Amino acid sequence: MRRKKETGSGSAAAEKCSVFQKRRMQIVKKATRLFAKKGYAQTSMREISKATGIDLSNLYYFIESKEEILFRVFEMIHRPESSVFENQAIMGLEDPAEQLRAVIREMMRFSILYKDEVLLLYRESKQLPKKLLKEILARESGFIRHIESILRKGLEKKAFAMEDPAFTAGLIAYELSLYPLRSWNLKHYSQADLIRRVERHIMGAVLAT
Amino acid sequence: MRRKKETGSGSAAAEKCSVFQKRRMQIVKKATRLFAKKGYAQTSMREISKATGIDLSNLYYFIESKEEILFRVFEMIHRPESSVFENQAIMGLEDPAEQLRAVIREMMRFSILYKDEVLLLYRESKQLPKKLLKEILARESGFIRHIESILRKGLEKKAFAMEDPAFTAGLIAYELSLYPLRSWNLKHYSQADLIRRVERHIMGAVLAT
Amino acid sequence: MRRKKETGSGSAAAEKCSVFQKRRMQIVKKATRLFAKKGYAQTSMREISKATGIDLSNLYYFIESKEEILFRVFEMIHRPESSVFENQAIMGLEDPAEQLRAVIREMMRFSILYKDEVLLLYRESKQLPKKLLKEILARESGFIRHIESILRKGLEKKAFAMEDPAFTAGLIAYELSLYPLRSWNLKHYSQADLIRRVERHIMGAVLAT
Amino acid sequence: MRRKKETGSGSAAAEKCSVFQKRRMQIVKKATRLFAKKGYAQTSMREISKATGIDLSNLYYFIESKEEILFRVFEMIHRPESSVFENQAIMGLEDPAEQLRAVIREMMRFSILYKDEVLLLYRESKQLPKKLLKEILARESGFIRHIESILRKGLEKKAFAMEDPAFTAGLIAYELSLYPLRSWNLKHYSQADLIRRVERHIMGAVLAT
DNA sequence: GATGAATGAGCATTCATTCAT
DNA sequence: CATGAATGAATGCTCATTCAT
């Protein structure tokens, strides 16, 4: 799944490139919908073609294979996820408890908004070939390490108490996917309630005393 | 997916039925392996036929469709899960904290042992038609209600503290699937460590003060 | 391209087996025609299906891939070819010149009769994967070695004269494919003329003085 | 496959034409390589485009179809072949035996050098439409007639002995393609050995007594 | 109960070629 | 001359399921 030519730079090329990428984005977005609704294997390229309005053969002008679409779907999900840790309003917070709370709220909002996509990630990631799967898991690991560093800061300041911050970070990351994986059981909660309850549960498990 | 004739009653029928069911069990067990390894859609009836040694056409004597196999796979997974709540050694415990701990330990053991099957449940349950999916979710709801009742008992006794025991029960049930859904990140923990850490986390979130 | 189960022995099985093989033979024969007329790559499985009257999917019940068909086509060509050397009327001849003449005549008859198939062998053998190609070439090598042994016998008896009987055997084997590869230039020769002329040419090159 | 406009005459046009032809030559040469390596049907226009560096659409500015490329490939192969008979050093020889030997040596050298191309000719010529195929075969016939005339001269001078010089000429022409068609069996011969052995074989069949 | 064969729709992908710019 | 996009038909192959014996 080598990247396409990724046509040079320069203003003219830049424009063309963006058209190319826009098309690809369009494909990936529509595919996300379809994959979420019917599953990856159950979605045919013909359906993606029909949904995007791009002729089946031309689809292959923008992507190399169905597999590449799945990979790009996952890539797209992870992009905003990691943006949380570039948010200065959050990363600048001094108090680790406040910071953790902010991350939880932000990520819960995200996971509720992109519930289908996150579910897809859990459901279909096995379809990726090993190499690409590793790339996806590496991103998730990065996210977990960020949480871990917050936990460690809290431990130093005696604000938090826990045996194994690496493990707890992983568990917290997992808890933040509650809604996508369990929405059938959470339909009657408002988003605010949901976020507050998860936040409380996690903070209860983490705060000292 | 109407059930088969379920050949009348009477002793002769009963015997046939049990041979019949044994065969079906054999199919479901082999299919579980295959589904877990390759995914539901990627496993063909021919492969199931080859794995069980039952001729492709005869497979349809024991099950009505591929979908039914998936349903029975899920059914089989849920059976031991619910047996926890028939375990008198656990259900007889007076102290809600002890009882919750026992349930956590038992379920963690189970989810680690049947990691592939539980993952399957999350991954492929959407493939079921609505009716059967509801049946599966109903079982899970029953499990959650059992946890909830333990939590409520703990609240009454002021051993536990939480805003919404129904929600917390759901979240705990979810946390107990940590290993199947996140094993890639937990490979270097021993089973005992894993169980202890999850137990601590949950109890930390639930115990009063 | 593993062989199918090749169902056991026993009279009942034997009958079934032969039906299976008859079907396969039917496929291979029709495919030979089509490959000869249009080329291997240009002949679609759908055409083979139509020509044999066997449904496209059922075709794959009898063969594993298009490639297997090609292999079996070649196999079928080689079978009668090697039968020349089991022909006692020929192999029993004392005089090497007579024996060589008999082989030439026999093989020419064969190559004229199976001109399309032999041409196919030259034209499409590259389409086979290495392993199968080697199998085919090994058969041809066996044929060449048979000729070589006749030449050597003739050399011993001073009936033949040549520098390198292995080379000459290969060249003779090649000359015997004249008609399939050059029929466009030989249309106005009768089979008898053709055979006699090739025989003379080869004998002229091989006989002492 | 009508030829392109063949833009008029005149000096300006002539220049254009030669650039045009150079490009076309470049295409044909690269295509020869590809066709030889992968086969005609298995080589896509996209590959030819990539190999030549000429954009896929622009390819069609220089050639009318993939078929035309194949035709020009064959045409190019035949050009040096026929040059043997314009070679005065050879055509001027008085002794027919010497002349035949010279032709054999020259053509063997050629067929060894262009083994892939000659093989291509045998393998893929059927892909051509009848009209173009005839054009190719006509060239080959011309070559055969040249050999025939040498043979006839030898017959007159009683240097050669044969029943049917036209037939023998065809057979000799065929023998000269030994290496391209049988190289798998001739790998361990040096070019000189190969040439000498073929020469001896043919001369043995042709010389009087 | 077991078996071989049938059915027909579906799959991802690739092709030579053309067109508008 | 060059480019990106379009077209639409074709490719080999697999599928769940059924049927006649």
Does residue B158 come out as left (phi exceeding 0), alpha (psi in the -120 to 50 range) or beta?
A: left
Residues of chain B contacting residue A41, judged by C-beta atoms under 8 Å apart: 39, 41-42
Q: How far is A202 from chain B (nearest CA, A)?
A: 7
pLDDT in tens, A95-138: 999 999 999 999 999 999 999 999 999 999 999 989 889 988 99
- Nearest CA among B74, B118, B97, B55 for reference residue B207: B97
From B6-15, C49-58, C73-82, D29-38, the region with the lowest mean pLDDT: B6-15
Does residue C39 come out as left (phi exceeding 0), alpha (psi in the -120 to 50 range) or beta?
A: left
- DSSP-based three-state secondary structure for D162: coil
Whether A170 and B163 lie within 8 Å, measured CB to CB: no
Is the Cβ atom of B60 within 7 Å of strand E at any atom?
A: no
CA distances from A119 to B48, B124, B196, C4 (A): 28, 11, 28, 42
| Burial of residue A158 (number of CB atoms within 10 Å: 0-12, 13-18, 19+) | exposed
Highest mean pLDDT of the ranges A118-127, B186-195, C121-130: B186-195
- Mean pLDDT score of chain D: 88
Q: What is the pLDDT of residue D16?
A: 52
| Average pLDDT, integer, range D101-112 | 94
Given a cut of 70, whether residue D2 has pLDDT beyond it is no
Cα separation, B120 vs B52, in Å, equals: 20
Looking at the C1' of nucleotide E8, which residue has the nearest alpha carbon?
C57
Whether B201 and A168 lie within 8 Å, measured CB to CB: yes
pLDDT in tens, C163-198: 999 999 999 999 999 999 999 999 999 999 999 999
A80: Cβ contacts below 8 Å, ≥ 6 apart: A110, A114
Residues of chain A contacting residue B162, judged by C-beta atoms under 8 Å apart: 200-201, 204
- Cβ burial A32-48 (10 Å sphere, 16+ → b, else e): bebbbeebbeebebeeb
What's the predicted TM-score (pTM) here? 0.84
Whether C127 and D182 lie within 8 Å, measured CB to CB: no
Whether C206 and D204 lie within 8 Å, measured CB to CB: yes
- Mean pLDDT score of chain C: 88
Q: What is the pLDDT of residue A83?
A: 82
Place of tokens 């689809």: A59
Q: Could you tell me which chain A residue has the CA closest to the CA of B145?
A: A185
Q: Quick check: A162 and A155 in contact, CB under 8 A?
A: yes
Residues of chain D contacting residue C170, judged by C-beta atoms under 8 Å apart: 182, 185-186
Domains of chain D: 10-64 (1.10.10.60), 68-206 (1.10.357.10)
From B204-208, C79-83, C168-172, the region with the lowest mean pLDDT: C79-83
Q: Name the β-bridge partners of B207.
A: B160
| Average pLDDT, integer, range C132-150 | 92
Q: Where are the alpha helices (H) located in chain B, listed in sequence order?
A: 11-38, 45-52, 56-62, 66-83, 88-91, 96-113, 115-124, 130-156, 165-175, 178-182, 191-206
Given a cut of 50, whether residue B140 has pLDDT beyond it is yes
Looking at the C1' of nucleotide F5, which residue has the nearest alpha carbon?
A58
B63: Cβ contacts below 8 Å, ≥ 6 apart: B24, B27, B69, B72
pLDDT confidence band for C14 (50 / 70 / 90): very low
Q: What is the pLDDT of residue D86?
A: 83
Given a cut of 90, whether residue A188 has pLDDT beyond it is yes
Cα separation, A24 vs A18, in Å, equals: 9
| Average pLDDT, integer, range C73-95 | 84
